[in-house]
Structure 1
Amino acid sequence: MTYRYKVALIFLIGFFIDCVNIFMSAVALPSIADDMHVSTSSVAWVANAYILGLTLIIPISTWLAERFGSREILTASMLVFSVAVGLCGMASSFHELVGWRFVQGIGGGLLIPVGQALTFNLFKGDQRAKISTLVMAVALIAPAISPTIGGVIVDTSSWRWVFYCNIPFSLIAAGLSWLWIKEERPVDLARPDIKGLLLVSAALGCVLMGMSLYGGDYPAMAALICLTAGVTFILLYLLHYRRSKNAIVELSLLKSKKLSTSIFIYYAIPGVFTGVNLLNIFYLQNSLKFSAQLTGMFMILYALGAFIAMLICGRVYNRLGARYLFTLGMLLHSAGIATLYLVNSPSDLPVIIIAYCLMGIGGGIGANTAQTTSLLDFEGDATHKGSVIWNINRQMSFSIGAALFLMIYNLLLKHLESTQAYHLTFAIAALIGLFPLLQMSNLNTQKERHAQQNS
């Protein structure tokens, strides 16, 4: 195996672990809520804490890799992850579980952007479409098998084993990182942007906290204070960014239409799906009395649809370009979400199957195209900085999607019966998922891009 494929394998293992921890733990949330006597909105913190840890460490991950070495950081990240995931399984209280999930997220958040930047710098030009296909293959396999396996674990054993089963994978990633990574450290290291890091971390933390509080059983004023603080920290970072020569998050990269559009798409497709799927898990298990195993098996259909989409994207991306694929992905994905509006009883199983197949095909087209398109404009150090922005966006989209639709559902539940609230939330999600259509005219087609390069 060549060196670049060894690096890619380490990144793909880490990416697999990340996907597993989002989807496998989601199917266990109803059981965790029952076991620890917490509400639906509160138990979402099991997912939010993990994503928050990931998000807060991502901005400094590149500097840490430069300071201490990519091999050392990747190895340490997976060791921290291994310890934290074990302690999640042993948690005796809900707050303890949430705390260790946060630490687990910090461990995982170091591997993904560093591993992605190392990998994408070794696969350039058209080769990035190939490695993006491998990334999306992992993104399909993990959601396909992890909810089903998680459902079996929850139904036959305990939700705690949903966490324990991650340990072998993280230890393998740690060992391979130590043995295979051979990146040299830079001779001259720029001073880290500590002030910028603190402002970004505070902004992300406050926004996530505010949305989660507003979507739960907490005073609206507490949520408003957090959201206001988040906006304030964002504005402060913008002022800081204008004065800094080495800002922790390089906002100038957002001038790339490929990166900015891909970010928007990720909120509209994977982000929306995360919230819809989480809500549907509670709907199916609590309202329709489906088992955790059956609930998890619907993700196999999603992955099958996304696999078909991956094959399509790999063949036609360079011919059609991102604009047409993004549009098709959004339309199919939102059609699948809208189909969930028709689910009223366990006998509507065929409707659920159609919905997840449509969401899978549309989601696979959109996510695969975004993954391929996002960093096409960058090379070298710009790839590292672009990877930081991309991975912050990726994690934030998951958390914001979950918080947003739990919030919408809880607000509707005050005025509607439970099933009606679920259905209306799905309808709203389908519309939100179409918002980026308004931006498609700003994205050059592949044909136009080649014309510009040749001019």
Structure 2
Amino acid sequence: MKAWLILFNVIIATNLAIISAVTSAVAESSIIGDLGIEGSVQQWVTILYFLGVNSAVPIGNWLGDRFGYKRMYFIGVSFFILGSFFVGLSSNFHMIVASRFIEGIGAGLIFPVGLALIMKNFPKEKLSLPINLYLGLSFGGGIGLGSIISGYFAQAGYWQACFFMNIPFGIFCLIATYYEIKETEKIDNGKFDFWGYLTFIIFVATLLIALTQGNLVSTTNGWKSPLVVGCLISCIVALIVWIFIEKKTSNPIISLKMFKYPLFVMACLSVFAIGSTLFATVSLASQYMEVSLKFQKQTTGLMLSIYGLALATFTMFSTFLMKHIHTLLVVLTGLCFLAISLFMNNELTFLSNKTHLAMILILRGMGIGLSLGPITSNGLKNIPLGHTAQAAMLLTFFRQTGATYGGSILNIIIIRRQFFHSQTFGEQITNYGIGFQETLRKMTSFFSFYHGNSPTEAKERAKQVIIDNVKNQSLIQSINDALFIFGIVICCIGFLLIFLNIKRQKEKPIP
């Protein structure tokens, strides 16, 4: 019974962390508008949160082994509550990004330490159900609830409530942790790998800065700017030094030996791709609905809640399927649904209706729900018992870095494709184009007849509407192109999983 109470506790805390991430996507325009944040730096409100997460996740298990998992979970929730409190009080850019970073550190401890607590309190042969409940209710539930809550409060003009509401639920988790969770046995896991951790964080941070800043219009010379080039060089050097250090140290933060298991490596790559799609769907769908379809934030939140509900439902349903069907078949079914939903995005325009969009979001939630849990469980099966905590941390890290870097990679593709589509569509807006002239004539007549504009005013207004629609569709098509590429990646992952499983059946398992 106590194991299930621990699971419930971790699900609540993880839910809060996911809701906070969703809020920054759905309520982003309200936050930057209220605080007067410039467009060139607004992405840091979200990036600093994920950077905090990615900084804390790698050391979560080391700290748990050394100081106790109960203590580190308690500290993680405390940091998250503190960060949420100051985010709600923020009155300027510097205060909110610093608070988001603190909040991210707390979430970065909650993710791996919370998952480790679940794994330590359930028998290994019965882990599939609690892990899928954890993933489904935490991520699906967090996206569903976070979308509704942030949409409602952002539209009401009180986005701060999305962060203040974390405090009472977080305090409940702290009280439950103090009284219900028994401290784990502390392990003397050797000297902290300071230089390995430092070089790894430099690698993570500089790569993120390069991917983000190189893509901004406001960055002088773009990818050739001294800042971006310097970050890329630092990133490569830090990665090389980190690998060298980790091979030499006896107690590495991330053991490179974990990557000798092919199925585990494939699981890491899979959760990276799925994590990218999981969180990018929230931000890109929000942008599409608010900018292109002109939805209100509350409507956007309700639409995204459909995605979260499908994700939660099918993550839990995958547990039932794995008892009756081979895990690989469940994973491939999920990846198939996911790829189809990404390809179907290509059908969306600025005239698409809610039903069409809802069908795509449901399919995507189904795909992620059926694949994420089984891939996580399957990736842990081949890992020796003493390394499961490290393996769980790595899977968590790859999922979260997918959310961070996957979004940056998608934005790079989107901006590049937007230039292409703007130019392609723009070439059709000429005085010699038959289609353009016919559309212009009809719209001029419409504005003249129904709005009482003079012929000259009606023609100018019609031209502006056409230009705005072209810009709008250029953005939509760019998003569709980026997701189409990710759909191809998902298909490749499916084929690789089939290949590795066939190969594994022909070979003896690694002792």
Fold-level match, TM-score > 0.5?
A: yes
Name the structure 2 match of 1:405. 410
Cα pair distance change 1:11/1:188, threshold 3 Å = same
Name the structure 2 match of 1:443. 500
Q: Deviations over 1:44-80 (max 9, x none)?
A: 3222111110111122222222333222222222122
Kept in 2: contact 1:276–1:426 (CA 8 A): no
Counterpart CA distance in 2 for 1:77 and 1:99 is 16
Alignment pair present for 1:434 and 2:435: no
- Give the letter for the 1:148 counterpart: I
How far did residue 339 of structure 1 move? 2.5
Q: Which runs of 5+ in 2 are unaligned?
A: 423-470
Residue number among 393, 398, 402 corresponding to 1:393 in the alignment: 398
- The secondary structure found in structure 2 opposite 1:434 is helix
How far did residue 148 of structure 1 move? 1.0
Alignment pair present for 1:218 and 2:219: yes
How far did residue 262 of structure 1 move? 1.8
Counterpart CA distance in 2 for 1:287 and 1:347 is 10
Counterpart CA distance in 2 for 1:413 and 1:319 is 46
Moved more, 437-446 or 85-94: 437-446
Name the structure 1 match of 2:430. none
The percentage of counterpart residues that share the same residue type is 20
Cα pair distance change 1:298/1:187, threshold 3 Å = closer
Alignment pair present for 1:229 and 2:252: no
Q: Deviations over 1:198-242 (max 9, x none)?
A: 111111111112111123232422223223322221111111122
Cα pair distance change 1:167/1:64, threshold 3 Å = same
Alignment pair present for 1:422 and 2:423: no
Kept in 2: contact 1:273–1:401 (CA 8 A): no
Kept in 1: contact 2:271–2:375 (CA 8 A): yes
TM-score (norm 1): 0.92
Moved more, 267-276 or 149-158: 267-276
Counterpart CA distance in 1 for 2:496 and 2:160 is 43
Kept in 1: contact 2:147–2:301 (CA 8 A): yes
Kept in 1: contact 2:148–2:298 (CA 8 A): yes
How far did residue 389 of structure 1 move? 1.2
Name the structure 1 match of 2:204. 204
Alignment pair present for 1:15 and 2:72: no
Moved more, 8-17 or 321-330: 321-330
Q: Deviations over 1:130-183 (max 9, x none)?
A: 112211331222211210111011111312222111112221222222222223
Q: How does 1:340-419 map to 2 (within 5 A)?
A: 340-345=345-350, 348-378=353-383, 380-415=385-420, 416=422, 417-419=471-473
Cα pair distance change 1:332/1:182, threshold 3 Å = same
Q: Which runs of 5+ in 1 are unaligned?
A: none
- The secondary structure found in structure 2 opposite 1:43 is coil
Name the structure 1 match of 2:195. 195
Counterpart CA distance in 2 for 1:309 and 1:335 is 16
Q: How does 1:107-122 map to 2 (within 5 A)?
A: 107-122=106-121
Cα pair distance change 1:353/1:127, threshold 3 Å = same
Q: How does 1:18-97 map to 2 (within 5 A)?
A: 18-38=17-37, 42-97=41-96
Cα pair distance change 1:64/1:349, threshold 3 Å = same
Name the structure 1 match of 2:301. 296
Counterpart CA distance in 2 for 1:187 and 1:143 is 36
- The secondary structure found in structure 2 opposite 1:414 is helix
Q: Deviations over 1:375-416 (max 9, x none)?
A: 222354412211221221121010112212222223333342
Please say which structure displays the higher CA radius of gyration.
2
TM-score (norm 2): 0.82
Q: Deviations over 1:22-44 (max 9, x none)?
A: 22331101222333344666323
Counterpart CA distance in 1 for 2:386 and 2:289 is 46
The Cα RMSD (Å) is 2.5
Cα pair distance change 1:257/1:442, threshold 3 Å = farther
- The secondary structure found in structure 1 opposite 2:357 is helix
How far did residue 293 of structure 1 move? 1.0
Counterpart CA distance in 2 for 1:353 and 1:135 is 25
Cα pair distance change 1:84/1:312, threshold 3 Å = closer
Counterpart CA distance in 1 for 2:317 and 2:82 is 40
Alignment pair present for 1:142 and 2:147: no
- Give the letter for the 2:416 counterpart: L
Name the structure 1 match of 2:438. none
Counterpart CA distance in 2 for 1:339 and 1:389 is 31
**Higher relative contact order by CA 8 Å / sep ≥ 6: 1 or 2?**
1
- Give the letter for the 2:95 counterpart: E
Kept in 2: contact 1:331–1:434 (CA 8 A): no
- Give the letter for the 2:251 counterpart: N
